[in-house]
Amino acid sequence: MNAAEPLPEMQLDPAGTTVSGLSSGAYMAVQLHVAYSTSIIGAGVVAGGPYFCAQGQLSNALNRCMQTFVGRPDADALVAHAHALADAVRIDPLTGLAGDRIYLFSGTEDRTVTRPVTDAAREFYRLAGIAEQDIKYVTGIPAGHAFIVEDAANACGVSGEPFINDCDYDQAGDMLGHLYGALAPAVPADESRLLTFDQSEFLADPETHGMASSGFIYRPAACTAGAVCRLHIALAGCRQTPADIGDLFARTAGYNRWAESNRLI
């Protein structure tokens, strides 16, 4: 990995920002998407649940938003709470979600975040105003709790580090294709374009906010040369930090080869 440097300046299309994540990263993706719905046009949710699911309670996080021992998430109540936050101008109006696209994934072998939880995420988005045709929900793959790729060390049904599984399925490509529409074919990523940037420029002490001190950015050749590009924010899950797996998620989850050919940072 390269030493962290200041985030380089880039030309971004303000109408082209999407977000995705796995597990805790999926939950963070949903929080960002709903809170900033006028700025983010879609979300990919891999093994995650609805907005504000835990409601600030660890017991909910464990027993309602991963397992459902105390019942599944109440999508109606969570949408009502989101409307209340929007009315108080603490998040963007939920009308900002209209026209956005959502990708959802739940593996049939995932016992960590169970299917009813991701079902509730779909119901939340429906109630919040996302049209049915704009939601893609993939449920038929025998995957464990992981991000899914075409080739990896972990077998498809495994739920364990590094949480990147070989299911002969290009999840990043399928997701990005749904969020953005038709894409140019993927090309090999240039690993020299995967850089480490310093996040303390934006937060004085990132770790006190649950953020790493540095992040990864992949800049395609066209974007480096000054072309206007779109931005996709990919959030890793628990135990996928650089301390845990280095740059493996940033390098091998499959996003970069689609980014290179589609002016996507």
- Residues annotated catalytic, as ranges: 23, 110, 145
- C-alpha Rg value of the chain to the nearest Å: 18
Question: Token pair for residue 224?
Answer: 């480096």
Burial environment of residue 85 by CB neighbours within 10 A (0 to 12, 13 to 18, 19 or more): middle
Q: Give the CA angle between residues 222, 228, 230 to the nearest 5°.
A: 95
Q: What are phi and psi of 217, to 5 degrees?
A: -135, 135
Helices (H), 4-114: 24-35, 58-63, 75-87
Measuring CA to CA, which residue among 206, 167, 162, 193 is closest to residue 255? Answer: 193
In contact, 141 and 148? CB cutoff 8 Å: yes
CA–CA distance, 84 with 89 (Å, rounded to integer): 9
